[in-house]
Structure 1
């Protein structure tokens, strides 16, 4: 990992402001239900080296997630890139955010290079065999999901497009779902791609969890204040009833202390 380049001179970076924000939201909510967080890694716009025999070949997904590997490289360092033959585990999920310049590559509509370099689709499908592949077209407000065909032979694995219902897709192998959420993230309200859990609720970001905790604490304080107010009102009402009863006794010539 330390020897292979993390970027090429002149290589284009992220095409717009949406890409890093969307990828970061995916990273913050990528919490597979069947893996410890310390055994989950995800990244955006990071080189994925996939061929030990051609070490200069790589693909650079907009975002990808891996399970079953340490969150940190060798449990001690941030990764410069993801070297599959060194890590021993291929990505579990890749997300590409469609743009005019990359749409053909993302959807497998281009031919391979004359030097034999495989296309992005071929790498994900046949070499890395990424179980789940998502392409999100934010201009159309929809995403497409592809899953490696169950029972596909080792020689010819292929992607099959899944039926996305109500803009949600449950990823059984990760105990996690991906879907479209209309909401505000980083002060931008739009349709975002994010993950949800087995309950069907969107997995909160750390900021959302802090806000929820703060709102819960404020709600508890308000409930305690109301309880104390109701207790005070009940005590005053009881005292008023007792005073009325005392006066009634006295008006009828009865000493309240004798009752």
Structure 2
């Protein structure tokens, strides 16, 4: 005999939506046909990279970076593109032909290919991002193939916010070779920069972030940090000025007291019949 589950009483209250409906983990912000579209982290992390990408070996006017922008790479297949989570270029104008914001990055119309590209792992994109997926016949090549073999991008970085694992590859002899961290950083001497992980707060969110450093390991500050530093320096300068003024007042008071003591001493000497002005030094 099979027992049937008890029927729910009509008087039972309905379950709240957070118990009865799918959560954000069940409904990710992704197009089923194109995995890896931005979530909130995919907005903030590239923004931090964008704000701190300041190659010291290049004029700011010849530095360009973008996030989630179509990157067209094959003149024979002009509709094929990749969309890196973030990429940086040196040697090109900040504006397209020095005139307008870019709608996309079309490599056959630019003077330089990206120099560094960053992919942030998303569920379902790991195999392609890490070069474990092969391209199919008559289909566009994978990201790895485009970055390594077609565009020959010198540095390829992959970061997972789920495991906090940072993996980096450097183009050597036409192939990507794994890079080792040096004192926790990935140096890129051609840029005068290093890339590494930083534990801190960005836009009010405290976690482990990927960001740019100098080759010596100093943080490249983003604008709000620069403003904070400037405010702290101004406050310190104000405190130092106030302290200097206080020291000047104290010194003036001490000088007045010393003068008064000298006058009292001179008066007493005169009362004893000694002229203080005739005393030898």
| TM-score, length of structure 1 as denominator length | 0.89
Are the counterparts in 1 of residues 198 and 211 from structure 2 also a CA contact under 8 Å?
yes
Farther-moved stretch of structure 1 (197-206 vs 92-101): 197-206
| Alpha-carbon distance in 2 for matches of 1:32, 1:249 | 70
Of residues 82, 101, 111, the one that matches 1:78 is 101
Which residue is equivalent to 2:11? none
Corresponding residue of 1:187? 204
Q: Which runs of 5+ in 1 are unaligned?
A: 1-7
C-alpha displacement of 1:57: 0.5
| Native 8 Å contact 1:250 1:256 kept in 2 | no
Query: 1:169 maps to what in 2?
Result: 186
Q: Secondary structure at the match of 2:96?
A: coil
| Counterpart in the other structure of 1:211 | 228
Task: Report how many residues are paired.
Answer: 246
User: For residues 28 and 22 of structure 1, what CA distance do their matches in structure 2 show?
Assistant: 10
Match of 1:201 in 2: 218
Which segment is superposed worse, 207-216 or 57-66?
207-216
The 2-side partners of 1:257 and 1:102 are apart by 99
CA distance, structure 1, for counterparts of residue 275 and residue 219 of structure 2:
64
Structure 2 CA distance for partners of 1:257 and 1:183, relative to 1, 3 Å: farther
Determine whether 1:36 maps to 2:59: yes
Over residues 65-95 of structure 1, what are the superposed CA-to-partner deviations in whole Å (9 max), with x where a residue is unaligned? 0000000111111111000001131100000
Per-residue deviation at 1:258? 6.7
Match of 2:136 in 1: 113
Contact 2:36 2:125 in 1 (8 A): no
What displacement does 1:146 show? 0.3
| Equivalence for 1:132 | 155
> Could you tell me how far apart the structure 1 residues matched to 2:183 and 2:205 are?
23
Counterpart CA distance in 1 for 2:274 and 2:51 is 69
Deviations 1:22-53 (A, max 9, x none): 00100011111111011011000000000010
> Pairwise mapping of residues 217-256 of structure 1 onto structure 2 (< 5 A)?
217-254=234-271
How far does the alpha carbon of each residue in 1:124-145 deviate from its partner, in whole angstroms, 9 at most, with x for none?
A: 0000000001001122223111
For structure 2, the residue ranges without an aligned partner over 5 or more in a row are 1-30
